């Protein structure tokens, strides 16, 4: 639907929290620039909130509690959703799309869980559905993935996409403190929510991994398809062990295209999407991404390695991404067209975590006597896991006389084989304690 | 012009050198994926080269020496130009655009010098003109700047956009060797051309700065508007001085929106575009960009700091960017529309280098006697330049008895005032030698 003549582009804003207020501010302060960039004035038609009395600073005539009416109003061209959560956001956006309205949303959980319904509704009415703000806040990422790299083949996307957990891991790395203590500190400083589960258990990162994998591999991936481990089990021994190996611990969202011989002379492709803490080399571009920053490292066949870095959360950065999308959708409406559609044409099979090739770092506290290394190495061999590096050092302390620390980094093997190997090692007589087990990523293989 | 029915999108390739061959390879190898992403088959209509016998590996029936005929042929929808240089590229692209063909080009010199004509021709016939590959090779940069940040206000773009000079400066930093020696090494390794002037004198970076400034500030900036200094004067003393201050030397392309009181209660905006070697803090995200990599650091009012990192040159990375643009232009044609247009609506005035606020690092070899610092400080004061840091160390060597090294970092002042200050300092009796003068960028102010 093209607005008639010089008609303004009408915008409905759903939600007026931290991000919504910033969207409102930018819409107001940059009205002139937005008009120049869109080719028509951009006019706020209404703001749907639950409790209007909580928004005394907002022009009162714009406020409404009737979101469902607002999204289909005749003077609304684009609906901007910054409510978050599944309902009522889902129903409102489906209604908006069915009515032919363009939609801009920052709602990662909704896209990762129910994206298929939204994309189908957008397709059916040729409406735009843009969501740059849903992954890594202000960092332009979705547009590069789905447009700039459209002529290339992406092999891997590795992201630090959750600021809270990156803040905690960075702080553990620089202070040497443990997880619980650092989480408390993060909460005090406002970097962690009162209930930090969505962040520290990896749910937030898993939603983003689902969205990134879908775009990168043209395959529908939902958050339920993403293998997820959080950072609550990361301890200071892991962080120290990483340092000693020239590595650092990061919570990574990994989306990978796995290529293997298909047994008939061809190549079989599958997709793995997973979130877990892992050790990466200090020389890896992601290693220096500290504090609450986000960054996404992309590997493509022709482009090589790319990295995108910036603020992954916060009102203003998220609003910047929302406004960028709003300009694009508004421009498309002025031109009478729409942007590129979501595509899932490749429809690659998803890989379970057990079948996914990974490599492990294992630190063991072992008895310092001959034959122990042979015994440990035998366990790896039995599971078909080949060892890349072994380092044994005597642990000469009063607490642990006659002990040694054995550090092993494996070559790549199916995750299930590695997991079984570690279970078996823990039961060996010679192994006094498994000090640290963590996956290793980002090595040059 | 929308292709009829299921007609394929016809592509004319101009040039078949390093980038052209990679474009050809990707077009062939990824034909199925490109068709799925574009919504129509993408078919190569012809390849214009000067000497067909030099391309024995290319399907001979596609080769032609008649580029001018090829670009306007009926079966051509999109023209991909990877010849480089001003002519004949300029005439060919103007002809293609006037005939309504979409254009994808990697030609930074042409865009930076004659962009206005090309954009005008594209506008006049509603044809697409895309050029992601012209700046920083494979790094998706132009699309984020002109689309993702379209609802934000960019304040500054700071880029390492030339791989050759970054390779040389990185090598000087790690080896301690001088410029000439390191350039020789870079040539031997294939990182510098036989005639390295376009790189080491900053011409290549200046073209890219012009393109970036135009996009970031919606103002037409040509390469002639960019203040340009290369790296040929950078010596090992500069690199050592940088290290001692916790900084490193990089050749930067800087595009800045300068905001000042306009004397009437408002704010006057202007644009500065410049290329020179500068010291940046080791903690700056650009500091760790080593070797031949490129990276661009963008600061925007709402989005905050963003960085884009990747390979800035090479056949395959550049071809990846070309293909991304080709998919976008082809999609637009299938949909019967076109992408966002270039805009220069802001038309901000350009700032001369002399009027641009910068800060300097100066190292002086001075006589180690009372009163010298006062004399030096007086020169800064006379030019209205305020000093941020002074460090004086005795230089206790046989070559230079009774000498001291005085290191001064200034606050921000107009570049012309800083330049005059240094000239005056060089003439002081107490100053035996000006060891290093370099601008300082990327400080938290």
pLDDT in tens, A191-205: 888 899 999 999 999
Which pLDDT belongs to residue B193? Answer: 87
Instruction: Report residue B397's pLDDT band, with 50, 70 and 90 as the boundaries.
Output: low
Q: Which of residues 307-326 of B touch A (CB under 8 A)?
A: 307-311, 314, 316-317, 319-326
Which pLDDT value is given to residue A75?
95
**Single pTM value for the model:** 0.89
Q: Which of A139, A320, A338 lies closest to B302 in CB terms?
A: A320
Domains of chain A, CATH where assigned? 9-138+315-335 (3.40.50.720), 146-311 (3.30.360.10), 357-440 (3.30.70.260)
Q: Long-range contacts made by residues A22-30, C-beta under 8 angstroms, separation at least 24?
A: A22/A315, A22/A316, A22/A318, A22/A319, A22/B302, A23/A80, A23/A82, A23/A319, A23/A322, A23/A323, A24/A58, A25/A319, A26/A319, A26/A320, A26/A323, A26/B151, A26/B152, A26/B302, A27/A323, A30/A323, A30/B151, A30/B153
* pLDDT at position B341 over 80: no
List the structure tokens of A427.
Answer: 């039961």
Nearest CB to B140 within list A148, A285, A323: A148
Taking each helix axis from N to C end, the angle separating B179-188 and B163-175, rounded to the nearest 10 degrees, works out to 120
Would the pLDDT of A370 be above 80?
Answer: yes
pLDDT in tens, A146-181: 888 888 999 999 999 999 999 999 999 999 999 999
Q: How many residues does chain B have?
A: 445
Q: What percent of chain A has a predicted confidence (pLDDT) above 90? A: 77
Instruction: Report CA B158 to chain centroid distance, whole Å.
Output: 9
pLDDT (mean) for A80-87: 94
Neighbours of A369 (CB within 10 A): 10
**What's the pLDDT score for residue A392?**
87
* B248-261: average pLDDT: 96
Name the average pLDDT for chain A.
92
Cβ-based contacts under 8 A for chains A and B: 188
pLDDT of residue A190: 87
Give backbone dihedrals phi and psi of B51, rounded to 5 degrees, phi first. -125, 90
Q: How far is CA B212 from CA B143, B161, B205, B296, B349, in A?
A: 11, 11, 10, 10, 16
pLDDT value of residue A281: 93
Contact A326 B36 (CB under 8 A): no
The pLDDT of residue A314:
85
> Min CA distance, B36 vs chain A (Å)?
7
Say whether residue A300 is in contact with chain B using an 8 A CB cutoff: yes
Per DSSP, what are the bridge partners of residue A362?
A: A408, A437
Q: How far is B283 from chain A (nearest CA, A)?
A: 9
Contact A359, A71 (CB under 8 A): no
Sequence-distant (≥ 6) Cβ neighbours of residue A328 within 8 angstroms? A128, A130, A339, B147, B150, B340
pLDDT computed for residue A419 by the predictor: 96
Given this model, what pLDDT does residue A444 score? 56
Q: What percent of chain B has pLDDT over 90?
A: 77
Distance CA A118, CA A440 (A): 36
Q: Are strands B357-367 and B431-440 parallel, antiparallel or unpaired?
A: antiparallel
Average pLDDT over residues A100-114: 94
Among candidate residues A394, A15, A197, A310, the one with its CA nearest the CA of residue B309? A310
The answer to whether residue A380 scores a pLDDT higher than 50 is yes
Which whole number is the average pLDDT over A89-109? Answer: 96
List the single residue in A with minimal CA-CA distance to B340.
A331
Taking 70 as the threshold, does the pLDDT of residue A300 lie above it?
Answer: yes
**Catalytic residue list contains B250:** no
Chain A (216-235) residues lying within 8 Å, Cβ to Cβ, of chain B: 218
Is the CB of B328 inside 8 Å of chain A's CB atoms?
yes
Residue B445 has pLDDT above 70, yes or no: no
Look at residues B10, B141, B14, B9 and name the one whose alpha carbon lies nearest to residue B81: B14
Between CA B241 and CA A119 the distance in angstroms is: 56
Task: Look up the ipTM and state it.
Answer: 0.85
B345 close to A (CB below 8 A) = yes
Does A445 have pLDDT greater than 50? no
Prior bond to A88 cis, omega within 30?
A: yes
Interface with B, mutate which of A30, A148, A335 (most B CBs under 10 A):
A148
Q: Three-state SS string across A253-299, please?
A: EEEEEEEEECCCCCEEEEEEEEEEEEEEECCCHHHHCCCCEEEEEEE
CB contact under 8 A, B36 and A304: no
- Distance separating alpha carbons of residues B156 and B152, to the nearest angstrom: 12
The burial class, CB within 10 Å (0-12 / 13-18 / 19+), for B166 is buried
* CB–CB contact B343 A37 (8 Å): yes
Considering only A64-68, A95-99, A318-322, B401-405, which range has the smallest mean pLDDT? Answer: B401-405
Cα–Cα nearest to A292, from A177, A162, A193? A162
Q: What is the largest CA-CA distance in chain B?
A: 87
Average pLDDT, rounded, for chain B? 92
Burial of B429 (0-12, 13-18, 19+ CB in 10 A): exposed
Q: 3-state SS of A32-84?
A: HHHHHHHCCCEEEEEEECCCHHHCCCCCHHHEECCHHHHCCCCCCCEEEECCC
Residues of chain B numbered 349-378 and touching chain A (CB < 8 Å): none
Could B328 and A147 be called an inter-chain contact, meaning their C-beta atoms sit closer than 8 Å? yes
CA distance A196 to A232: 11
Q: Which of A33, A218, A302 sits opposite B316 (nearest CB)?
A: A302
With cut-offs at 50, 70 and 90, classify the pLDDT of residue A137: confident
Task: Answer yes or no: is pLDDT of A2 > 70.
Answer: no
d(CA A385, CA A413): 6
Q: Is A321 in Cβ contact with B150 (below 8 Å)?
A: no
Contact flag A337-B340 (C-beta cutoff 8 Å):
no
Residues of B in contact with A139 (CB under 8 A): 306
Among candidate residues A399, A435, A400, the one with its CA nearest the CA of residue A237 = A435
* Record: contact B151-A327, CB cut-off 8 A: yes
Q: How far apart are CA B286 and CA B304, in angstroms?
A: 15
What is the model's pLDDT at position A3? 47
Q: Is B153 on the interface with A (CB under 8 A)?
A: yes
pLDDT grade, residue A335 (50/70/90)?
confident
Letter string b/e over residues B392-401, b meaning 16 or more CB atoms within 10 A of that residue's CB = beebeeeeee
A332 or A81, which is more confident?
A: A81
Confidence class for position B3, pLDDT limits 50, 70, 90: very low
């Amino acid at each position: 639907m093209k607005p008639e003549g010089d008609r303004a582009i009408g915008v409905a804003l759903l939600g007026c929290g931290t991000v919504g207020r910033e969207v409102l501010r930018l819409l107001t302060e940059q009205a002139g620039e937005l008009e120049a960039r869109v080719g028509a004035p951009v006019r706020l038609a209404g703001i749907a909130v639950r409790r209007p009395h909580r928004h005394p600073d907002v022009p009162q005539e714009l406020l409404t509690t009737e979101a469902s009416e607002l999204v289909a109003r005749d003077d609304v061209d684009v609906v901007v959703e910054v409510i978050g959560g599944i309902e009522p956001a889902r129903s409102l956006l489906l209604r908006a799309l069915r009515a032919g309205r363009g939609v801009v949303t920052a709602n990662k959980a909704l896209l990762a869980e129910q994206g298929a319904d939204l994309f189908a509704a957008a397709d059916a009415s040729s409406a735009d559905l843009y969501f740059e703000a849903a992954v890594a806040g202000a960092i332009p990422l979705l547009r590069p993935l789905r447009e700039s790299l459209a002529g290339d083949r992406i092999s891997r996307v590795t992201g630090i996409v959750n600021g809270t957990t990156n803040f905690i891991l960075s702080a553990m790395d620089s202070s040497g403190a443990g997880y619980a203590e650092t989480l408390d500190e993060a909460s005090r400083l406002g970097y962690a929510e009162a209930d930090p589960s969505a962040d520290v258990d990896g749910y937030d990162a898993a939603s983003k991994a689902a969205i990134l994998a879908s775009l990168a591999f043209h395959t529908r991936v939902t958050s339920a398809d993403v293998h997820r481990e959080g950072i609550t089990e990361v301890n200071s021994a892991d962080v120290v062990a990483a340092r000693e190996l020239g590595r650092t611990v990061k919570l990574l969202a990994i989306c990978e295209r796995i290529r293997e011989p298909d047994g008939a002379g061809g190549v079989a492709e599958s997709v793995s999407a997973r979130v877990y803490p892992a050790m990466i080399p200090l020389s890896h571009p992601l290693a220096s991404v500290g504090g609450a920053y986000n960054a996404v490292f992309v590997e493509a066949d022709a482009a090589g390695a790319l990295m995108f870095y910036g603020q992954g959360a916060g009102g203003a950065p998220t609003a910047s991404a929302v406004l960028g999308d709003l300009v694009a959708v508004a421009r498309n409406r002025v031109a009478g067209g729409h942007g590129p559609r979501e595509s899932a044409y490749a429809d690659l099979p998803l890989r379970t975590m057990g079948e996914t090739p990974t490599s492990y770092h294992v630190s063991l506290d072992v008895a310092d006597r001959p034959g122990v290394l042979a015994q440990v190495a035998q366990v790896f061999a039995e599971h078909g896991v080949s060892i890349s590096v072994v380092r044994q050092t005597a642990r000469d302390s009063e607490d642990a006389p006659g002990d040694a620390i054995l550090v092993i980094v494996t070559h790549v093997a199916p995750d299930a084989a590695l997991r079984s190997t570690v279970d078996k090692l823990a039961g060996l007589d010679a192994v006094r304690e498994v000090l640290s087990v963590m996956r290793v990523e980002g090595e040059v293989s």
